[in-house]
Amino acid sequence: MELYFLGTNAGVPTLQRNVTSIGLRMLDERRALWLFDCGEGTQHQILSSPLKLSKLEKIFITHLHGDHVFGLPGLLSSRAYQGGTTPLTVYGPPGTERMVTTVMELSQSRINYELKIIEHTGGLLFEDESFIVESALLEHRIDSYGYRITEKDRPGSLDQVKLAEYGLKPGPLFGRLKRGETITLDDGRAVRPEDVLGAPKRGKVITILGDTRPCANVLPLAKHADVLVHEATFMDDLADTAHEYYHSTAKQAAEAARAADVGELIMTHFSSRYKDEEQLQPLLDEAKAVFLNSRLANEHELIPVIHHQNGSQL
What is the spatial distance between Cα 67 and Cα 51, in angstroms, rounded to a whole number? 20
Cα distances from 201 to residues 28, 48, 74, 224, in angstroms, run 14, 34, 39, 16
Return the closest-CA partner of residue 39 out of 16, 8, 15: 8
- Among residues 28, 37, 67, 195, the one annotated as catalytic is 67
Q: Is 211 annotated as a binding residue?
A: yes
Q: Is 140 annotated as a binding residue?
A: yes
What is the spatial distance between Cα 236 and Cα 278, in angstroms, rounded to a whole number? 17
Q: Which residues contact 97 (CB under 8 A, 6 or more apart)?
A: 117, 119
Q: Would you say the C-alpha torsion 89, 217, 286, 11 has a positive or negative sign?
A: positive
Residue 83's region, left for phi above 0, alpha for psi from -120 to 50, else beta, is: left
Q: Is 65 annotated as a binding residue?
A: yes
Name residue 239's amino acid. Answer: A
Q: Which residues contact 242 (CB under 8 A, 6 or more apart)?
A: 213, 233, 234, 248, 249, 252
Q: Which residues contact 229 (CB under 8 A, 6 or more apart)?
A: 3, 22, 36, 206, 207, 208, 209, 266, 268, 297
Cα distances from 57 to residues 22, 209, 236, 281, in angstroms, run 14, 20, 37, 35
Q: Which residues pair with 116 in a beta bridge?
A: 89
Is residue 67 annotated as part of the catalytic site, yes or no? yes
The annotated binding site is made up of 63, 65, 67-68, 140, 211, 269
* Residues labelled catalytic: 67
The annotated binding site for Zn(2+) is made up of 63, 65, 67-68, 140, 211, 269
